[in-house]
Amino acid sequence: MKLVISKNLKTFKQMLSIIGSIGSETNMVLDETGMNMFVTTAGSVASKVTFDNSFFDEYTINDIEEKYGVFLNDLQEPLKRINKEVIIENNNGRINISSGGDKYTIPILEDVQTTINRLPEIEYKYNVSLTLKMLSDVVDKIRMTKGTVITFFEEDGVLKASSVNGMRKATVEITKSNGLSDRLPFGIDLLNPILLKDEVSIKLFLGKDKPLTVDYLKNNAHLIFVLAPRVGEEE
């Protein structure tokens, strides 16, 4: 394996930051189409990011499929110190990360086991387009209640979110909407990994007794974020 990342380094760091906020370990799985990484936490949140081979400035693998278990923090820490072209390659049972004269080596783990091995295939009747910044701004406003649950619902053709904590209540408009008939509660803090001030468009999928799913595509990197509902815990 040899990966060279230059033009999309900022996006690569961003995607690693998201999944690194969800889980501590992952498998880097590479084939001829590109690389994917999958993480879960406590059965509540799961995420998969897929980097198309065209995402990289250079993408080389030696087998039909290659898999390398890693601690996500091990990948992230060197990248925090690199702002130009980075090279990631396997060498004698370790991962080498280099940029210019700077070189870092991290261990390869045995096959990493997660709570679930793949994202669930779910059919949704409802989805809406917005940006990550819009979603992040909504949650920022909702947090004034200091509550733990955010509820999404539709009212008068507008998707809204609300949170209640004792005498405190906040209701915030998100975007025009049509087709959501239920009130859907989720844990506010579990949304944290996906809350970025990024203007890139996303799709938000919602449904009764179904997870919240965010579908996010940027620079040939595709991230899916899935959050389990708070069943029976409405406002």
Structure tokens at 75: 């990948």
Strands 212-218 and 149-155: unpaired
Residues 6+ apart with CB under 8 A from 10: none
Structure tokens at 46: 């799961």
Q: What does the pLDDT average to over 59-63? A: 96
Report whether CATH 3.40.50.970 matches the domain 2-107. Answer: no
Instruction: Give the integer Cα–Cα distance in Å for 28 and 192.
Output: 23
Give the least confident one: 50-59, 87-96, 111-120, 173-182.
Answer: 111-120
Q: What does the pLDDT average to over 170-187? A: 95
147 pLDDT more than 60: yes
Structure tokens at 218: 């940027």
Point out which residues pair with 159 in neighbouring strands.
Answer: 154, 175
pLDDT tens readout for residues 188-225? 999 999 999 889 999 999 999 999 999 999 999 999 99
Percent of the chain at pLDDT above 70?
A: 96
Residue with tokens 């949304």: 191
Q: What does the pLDDT average to over 90-117? A: 87
Give the least confident one: 80-84, 102-106, 113-117.
Answer: 113-117
Write the DSSP assignment of 78-141 as a string of letters: HHHT--S-EEEEEETTEEEEEETTEEEEEEPBSPPP-SSSS------SEEEEEEHHHHHHHHHH
Q: What does the pLDDT average to over 149-173? A: 96
Which pLDDT does position 232 carry in this prediction?
56
Q: Percentage helix, strand, coil, to 5, in the chain?
A: 20, 45, 35
pLDDT category at 31 given cuts 50, 70, 90 is very high
Which pLDDT does position 233 carry in this prediction?
53
Helical pair 72-80 and 9-20, crossing angle rounded to 10 deg:
140
Percent of the chain at pLDDT above 90?
A: 88
Which pLDDT does position 112 carry in this prediction?
77
134-148: burial string, b at 16+ Cβ within 10 Å, e else: bbbebbeebeebebe
45 pLDDT more than 60: yes
Which pLDDT does position 42 carry in this prediction?
75
Which pLDDT does position 234 carry in this prediction?
52
Residues 6+ apart with CB under 8 A from 40: 22, 23, 46, 47, 114, 115, 116
Give the least confident one: 21-35, 84-98, 103-117, 119-133.
Answer: 103-117
Q: What does the pLDDT average to over 103-132? A: 86
Which pLDDT does position 231 carry in this prediction?
61
Q: What does the pLDDT average to over 3-9? A: 97
pLDDT category at 120 given cuts 50, 70, 90 is confident
Which pLDDT does position 92 carry in this prediction?
86
What residue spans define the domains of the chain?
2-107, 126-227
CATH number corresponding to 126-227: 3.10.150.10
